[in-house]
């Protein structure tokens, strides 16, 4: 064998899927944050560490684990679908969010699956429905971790624009009509919609558009069963404006809608639990996949979540979060108002909930990772998420480069104004360079 020792060994024979899968851009952002510990991080989609329910979880775990039989149940396996009393409680919880009685919902606790964060639900639904080349309709911009997942599954993401009322649902109708004309309707499986305080824009889908989107899907139901996947991760972080019912609550037959929620945003990411209500036949397929993935999410975490819902600490904690994040939302909007130049076509969203503000700069300003501004901001001690990550290319392969996602989630309240001030300095310098007739480069 020594004569062959110098011969290069063959590469690892990865699957087609693995070769297709791209790195999530989030890895790069986390690395940048770690390399620059002094940075004011307006990029991280993390929740505020200061408002995590440490004392509540201490009391809850004490209660669970001081009772031997309950403690043993929490440390044993449970089922693939998730802890039954938790799912019952979640069913009641969703009803309360909708302002309905549990029996008024079109689904029961048997249609709820508990997952490892809501991300796993997004993945499993994709796994159950999507073959390579199948179509998912989403807004442009959209939640970039999900579109990365769809890329890995080799699904085709077709996007429609969005405005202050959320996804342009008439554009969805037109797109579906066009696809039907092209004979591609059978490939359309899902419409993905972050209907509450969207990641990345902070905007919500209006009530009128919710109704209309469901109507569009229903009008096609004899030709193709298209499911609306409503990702409501930020739903409970509502600071002002009306509560809105989900599309799921408008689907009495539980046939056309999927509603995903999570404990990560309104309670604690460390439990890594999400939950999703979905049609019966989809649930069956999702559970078969989950049986292969892990046959059930962490059971101790499910017992903690259940107890938090039972003893009222969940609701109390959401109220604490709302007060804290509302103040931070107000602070970031005030800082933008104060520091950001207003005379050059710069706009930003005014979210009623969630963790994000979406900043739009003049088209000439390039916020992408490769452009100078990103590094300039990092060297000024502030980081944002380049808006480019949140877009799918249009027919000409173009991606808007003039947006930033700003998060007020993790950042310390006192750092919001300085962070926006630093950002504004870099933006202002950029505008000077762009617009100054003296500039010769």
Q: Which of residues 263-292 bind its own copies (CB under 8 A)?
A: 264, 268-273, 279, 281-282, 285, 288-289, 291-292
213 contacts its own copies (rule: CB under 8 A) = no
Sheet containing 403-407: order of strands: 347-348, 356-360, 403-407, 385-386
6 contacts its own copies (rule: CB under 8 A) = no
Choices 173-181, 216-224, 235-243, 360-368 (CB under 8 A): range interacting with its own copies: 216-224
How many Å apart are CA 43 and CA 369, to the nearest integer? 13
Window 364-423: residues binding its own copies (CB under 8 A)? none
How many Å apart are CA 196 and CA 189, to the nearest integer? 22
Q: How far is CA 315 from the centre of its chain?
A: 22
CB 91 within 8 A of CB 109: yes
Among 41, 119, 257, 360, binds its own copies (CB under 8 A): 119
Nearest to its own copies of 135, 420 (CB atom): 135
Residue pointed to by tokens 């899927």: 17
Nearest to its own copies of 119, 199 (CB atom): 119
**C-alpha closest to that of 142 among 370, 321, 363, 391:** 391
Instruction: Please state the closest distance from residue 88 (CB atom) to its own copies, in A.
Output: 17
How many Å apart are CA 24 and CA 149, to the nearest integer? 9
Choices 170-178, 215-223, 344-352, 398-406 (CB under 8 A): range interacting with its own copies: 215-223
Window 314-373: residues binding its own copies (CB under 8 A)? none
**C-alpha closest to that of 381 among 49, 42, 31, 28:** 42
For the chain, the C-alpha Rg in angstroms (whole number) is: 23
CB 109 within 8 A of CB 84: yes
Among 246, 260, 276, 297, binds its own copies (CB under 8 A): 297
Classify each residue of 321-348 as buried b or exposed e, where b means 16 or more C-beta atoms within 10 Å of its C-beta. Answer: bbebbbebbebbbebbeebbeeebebeb
First and final CA of the chain: distance in angstroms? 60
Size of the residue set binding its own copies (CB under 8 A):
93
Window 55-114: residues binding its own copies (CB under 8 A)? 55, 57-58, 61-62, 65-66, 68, 71-72, 74-80
Instruction: Please state the closest distance from residue 232 (CB atom) to its own copies, in A.
Output: 18
Nearest to its own copies of 303, 352 (CB atom): 303
Residue 73 burial class via C-beta count within 10 angstroms: exposed 0-12, middle 13-18, buried 19 and up = middle
**C-alpha closest to that of 386 among 408, 409, 411, 403:** 403
Taking the CA of residue 23 as centre, how many other CA atoms within 13 Å lie in the half-sphere pointing to its CB?
7
**C-alpha closest to that of 224 among 181, 183, 185, 177:** 185
SS (H, E, C) 308-334: HHHCCHHHHHHHHHHHHHHHHHHHHHH
Nearest to its own copies of 157, 359 (CB atom): 157
Choices 6-14, 94-102, 361-369, 400-408 (CB under 8 A): range interacting with its own copies: 6-14
Cα dihedral 208, 143, 234, 313, rounded to 10, equals 150
Instruction: Please state the closest distance from residue 58 (CB atom) to its own copies, in A.
Output: 4
Window 171-190: residues binding its own copies (CB under 8 A)? 186, 189
134 contacts its own copies (rule: CB under 8 A) = yes
3 contacts its own copies (rule: CB under 8 A) = no
How many Å apart are CA 346 and CA 429, to the nearest integer? 14
Instruction: Please state the closest distance from residue 371 (CB atom) to its own copies, in A.
Output: 25
Nearest to its own copies of 89, 189 (CB atom): 189
Nearest to its own copies of 32, 206 (CB atom): 32
Choices 176-184, 295-303, 329-337, 350-358 (CB under 8 A): range interacting with its own copies: 295-303
Nearest to its own copies of 3, 436 (CB atom): 3
Among 43, 47, 105, 423, binds its own copies (CB under 8 A): 47
Nearest to its own copies of 66, 436 (CB atom): 66
Nearest to its own copies of 127, 230 (CB atom): 127
- Token pair of 350, please? 């005014």
Nearest to its own copies of 271, 355 (CB atom): 271
Nearest to its own copies of 160, 227 (CB atom): 227
Among 3, 4, 183, 242, binds its own copies (CB under 8 A): 4
How many Å apart are CA 216 and CA 74, to the nearest integer? 44
Among 27, 35, 183, 343, binds its own copies (CB under 8 A): 27
């Amino acid at each position: 064998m020594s004569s062959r020792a110098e011969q290069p060994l063959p590469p690892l024979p990865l699957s087609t899927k693995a070769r297709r899968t791209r790195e999530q851009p989030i890895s790069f952002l986390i690395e940048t944050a770690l390399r620059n510990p002094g940075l004011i991080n307006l990029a991280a989609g993390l929740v505020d560490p200061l408002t995590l329910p440490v004392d509540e979880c201490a009391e809850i775990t004490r209660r669970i684990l001081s009772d031997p039989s309950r403690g043993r149940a929490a440390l044993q396996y449970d089922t693939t679908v998730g802890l039954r009393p938790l799912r019952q409680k979640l069913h009641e919880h969703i009803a309360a969010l909708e302002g309905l009685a549990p029996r008024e919902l079109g689904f029961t606790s048997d249609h709820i699956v508990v997952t490892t964060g809501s991300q796993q639900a997004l993945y499993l639904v994709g796994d159950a429905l999507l073959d390579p080349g199948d179509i998912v309709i989403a807004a442009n911009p959209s939640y970039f971790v999900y579109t990365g997942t769809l890329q890995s599954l080799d699904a085709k993401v077709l996007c429609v624009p969005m405005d202050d009322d959320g996804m342009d649902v008439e554009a969805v109708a037109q797109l579906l009509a066009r696809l039907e004309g092209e004979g591609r309707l059978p490939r359309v499986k899902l419409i993905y919609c972050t209907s509450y305080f969207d990641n990345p824009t902070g905007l919500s889908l209006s009530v009128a558009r919710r109704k209309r989107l469901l109507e569009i899907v229903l009008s096609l139901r004899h030709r193709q069963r298209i499911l609306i996947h409503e990702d409501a991760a930020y739903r409970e972080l509502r600071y002002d404006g009306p509560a809105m019912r989900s599309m799921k609550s408008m689907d009495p037959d539980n046939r056309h809608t999927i509603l995903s929620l999570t404990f990560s945003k309104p309670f604690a990411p460390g439990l890594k639990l999400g939950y999703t209500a979905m049609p019966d036949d989809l649930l069956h397929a999702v559970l078969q996949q989950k049986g292969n993935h892990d046959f059930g999410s962490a059971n101790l975490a499910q017992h903690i979540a259940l107890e938090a819902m039972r003893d009222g600490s969940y609701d109390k904690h959401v109220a604490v979060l709302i007060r804290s994040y509302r103040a931070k939302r107000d602070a970031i909007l005030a800082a933008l108002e104060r520091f950001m130049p207003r005379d050059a076509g710069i706009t930003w969203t005014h979210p009623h909930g969630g963790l994000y503000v979406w900043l739009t700069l003049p088209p000439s300003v390039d916020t992408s990772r490769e452009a100078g501004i990103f590094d300039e901001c990092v060297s000024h001690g502030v980081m944002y998420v380049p808006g480019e990550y949140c877009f799918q290319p249009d027919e000409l392969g173009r991606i808007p480069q003039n947006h930033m996602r700003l998060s007020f989630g993790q950042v310390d309240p006192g750092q919001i104004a300085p962070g926006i001030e630093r950002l504004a300095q870099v933006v202002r310098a950029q505008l000077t360079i762009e617009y100054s007739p003296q500039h010769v480069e």
